[in-house]
Chain A
Amino acid sequence: MNRFTGFLKKEFLHIFRDLRTMMILFLIPVLLVLIFGFVIKNEIKDAKIAILDLSRDNASKSISSRLSASEDIIVTEYLSSYSQIEEQFQKNLVKAIVIFENNFAENLVRENKANVQIILDASDPNTASLLNSYVSVIINNFISEKFSLNKTIPLEIEPRMWFNEEQSSSYMYVPGTMALILMVITALMSSVSIVREKEMGTMEILLISPLKPYQIVLGKLAPYAVLSVINAVSIILVGYFIFNIPILGSWFTLILVNFIFITMALSLGLLISTLTNRQETAMFISVFVLLLPTMLLSGFIFPLENMPNFLQYLSYIVPAKYYLNAIKSIMLKGQGILYSWKEISVLIGMTILLIGLSIKKFKIRLE
């Protein structure tokens, strides 16, 4: 046991004395959460549009000024003919062009019906459809305010937004960033640290020492477990203090779930390290194979429910999905650990499976 603590101490020293790497390891996760928390949004802000007003009457002018007064939309240009439309889009100058037909106000009053066309740059379909509904709402509001005969519909739907009253998109993206960072960085660190020993040839020296193989692996992984837990806590604090993500459940449960997830990621790193003898291969597998599935199939950026079935089935093997479900229910819904027992058991099951596979693959002898 004494030998093992000595080895453990050496491993910790190895990492913690290298100030540059340490700074990188601690700062990167926090910086990324900070940046992405502010940057990744799904609402529209400052979308650039142009207006082609063929009518130039009071109604069309008032709608135009309403559009430019809107906080979400910037009217960059007033076009004078249809021929200018194409250029605006080709040069990526605007996202949409609103066209008022000839005699817009007259049609509105005389025929009770007037036409507006919105041409949208749907090469980004998400923005296009959002922008369409934003502009439509502004136009419809104008009409109902101007012409309303005080006959509102006697039926009202009162939405109650549970768990996220202000509908902040940080509730979705900050936990998502946590999952991404913990998963990729943890697996990366652990896989590379073991492969490095193999590549440098020092693994051989460790193996002929009286330490048992499991002690070697444990000693290699322990410092990274500590590092990752520190990272998890600092990310949670950033979410709590800067993005006002509530923590309604208990801190203890939250840290526990994080710890389980980190252990899972560490064992995944361990498995990757048994597959290869070269650091860059280990890195590549950790980042290349994990990054996009963790980002896209965990519910981080796009909701899983709307995906085709085969992707939903595929998401069952993405650990980040379970982690996200669990921490969202603890942080945002204030649930105890029992509510997430399924997610937690799956994560523990995955950890056991990964460790089992690694033991089977772990070679005591080097070829």
Chain B
Amino acid sequence: MRILYRLILKEFKQIFRNKIMLPVIFIIPFIQTIILVYSATLELKNSDITIIDMDKSMISANLISKFQASPFFKVELMSYNEKEISDALLKDKTKAILIIPKDFEKNLRSGIPVKILLNLNAIDSQSSGLINIYVGQTVLGIFKDFKPFLSKIDLEQQMPKVDIRPSYWYNQNLNFKFFMLPGILTILVSMIGIFLTSFNIVREKEMGTIEQINVTPIEKWQFLTGKLLPFVLIGIFDLTIGLLFGIFMFDLPFEGSVYTMFIFTILFLIAGIGIGLLIADFSNTLQQSMFMLLFFFLIFILMGGTFTAVESMPDWAQAINVVNPMYYYMRVVRSILLKGSGVLDLIKDFWALLVYGITTVFVAVWAYRKTV
């Protein structure tokens, strides 16, 4: 035990001695979290829309003013010109171009079907889909105003209506920061843990200092635990600070118990860092280890549901997620924070992470060779 204690002390000394790494470990994660937490929002506001009014009637003017009043759109008017339309979309001057045709009012009054053409830049298919929906709702709004005029259209009279009321549990206002903050924080903290542990060992290999340790009576497990524990501790520390920032700056709810959070965080960090150890076992140069780490890490974060929903992924991807510690942890963290889930609710994830952590660390210790 004394040996382990000394080893951990040595690691901490080395970490605190490196003046460039200190801010990377203890300051940059928080700055990044606080800034990047704003990056996700599904709200559409002030989307550029260009309206071409070829009718210039009372109803078309009313329609335009509806768009101008809407918080979703920033309206610009344009006269009809085939070339300018494609130009505006090509040069990203606008996201959508709505064309109100000639005789719009006349046809509406006499009940002749009218088509309004909506040109959308659909490269970002999600935004363009949303704009399409909002435009539809705004356009339908004119029927309420002009009911007396458009008497031929009797819309709401006979058709029964289902009142669909969504209630958004655990995050009533669909606050994206509650979703993003745990995600970004987890990425940064686990990156520190996994990468640094692995580098640390491979560096000793590359520098040859590992042989000096190999000839001492230090056991394999002592050496590896000495490398693993400091970063588990740093990870817990960073996560705690980051969550405190979230709670005080962004009103991030913490419904669950602190213990549950700690239990899962420790399990996750051990599992993640175990992978770092494994990769270190199998690489001889820092370069090799770093590319392996980057490869696995990117897969972990982008497939684990940090930013996009896991359910939408193809089945094979979900099968891969069984060995993705981030997949368990992301779900668990959000459940603990927002829903107040306890260990019993998350028992499957608990066993998965536990088995995962034990296996990776054992295999890492077993595969580590003291001889060169």
Contacts and interface: CB of A to CB of B under 8 A. Distances in A.
A163 B122 contact: yes
Interface in B157-180: 158-172, 174-176, 178-179
A117 interface: yes
Given A32-B299, A40-B302, A293 B122 contact: no
Nearest to B39: A296
Interface in A272-301: 275-276, 278-281, 283-285, 287-289, 291-293, 296-297, 299, 301
B21 interface: yes
Contacts, number: 352
A153 B155 contact: yes
Interface of B: 18, 20-21, 24, 28, 32, 35-36, 38-48, 89-92, 95, 107-108, 111-129, 132-133, 135-136, 139-140, 143, 153-155, 158-172, 174-176, 178-179, 184, 187-188, 191-192, 195-196, 199-200, 203, 285-288, 290-292, 294-295, 298-299, 302-303, 305, 307-309, 311-314, 317, 331, 334-335, 337-342, 345-346
Contacts of A114: 160-163
Nearest to B187: A292
A160 B179 contact: no
A128 B115 contact: no
Nearest to B345: A90
Nearest to A20: B288
Contacts of B143: 153, 155
Interface stretch (A202-210, A214-222, A230-238, A307-315): A307-315
A115 interface: yes
Interface size class for chain A? Answer: 35 or more
Contacts of A276: 20
B40 A128 contact: no
Given A151-B158, A306-B41, A306-B43, 16 more contacts: A28-B295, A39-B302, A41-B312, A89-B169, A119-B167, A123-B338, A126-B176, A127-B311, A163-B121, A164-B125, A196-B287, A278-B20, A288-B195, A310-B38, A314-B35, A329-B90
Contacts of B28: 288-289
Contacts of A301: 40, 307-308
A24 B288 contact: yes
B334 to A, nearest CB: 5
A124 B309 contact: yes
Contacts of A297: 36, 39
A332 B121 CA distance: 11
A175 to B, nearest CB: 9
Contacts of B286: 192, 196, 279-280, 283
B312 A122 contact: no
A337 to B, nearest CB: 14
Interface of A: 20-21, 24-25, 28, 31-32, 35-36, 38-48, 87, 89-92, 95, 108-109, 112-129, 132-133, 135-136, 139-140, 143-144, 147-149, 151, 153-165, 167-169, 171-172, 180, 184-185, 188-189, 192, 196, 275-276, 278-281, 283-285, 287-289, 291-293, 296-297, 299, 301-303, 305-308, 310-311, 314, 325, 328-329, 332-333, 335, 339
Given A279-B286, A339-B90, A169 B41 contact: no
Contact of A154 (B36, B113, B292, B309): B113
B122 A164 contact: yes
Contacts of B175: 125
10 contacts: A24-B291, A39-B302, A91-B346, A120-B167, A123-B171, A123-B334, A158-B117, A283-B199, A287-B290, A291-B191
A184 B172 CA distance: 37
A116 B164 CA distance: 5
Contact of B24 (A133, A154, A284, A329): A284
A285 B290 CA distance: 13
A90 B179 contact: no
A90 B168 CA distance: 14
A274 to B, nearest CB: 12
Contact of A307 (B24, B41, B125, B184): B41
B125 A119 contact: no
Contacts of B112: 154
A21 B287 contact: yes
A194 B307 CA distance: 34
B102 to A, nearest CB: 15
A128 B159 CA distance: 28
Residue among B43, B124, B170, B191 with max Cβ neighbours from chain A (10 Å): B124
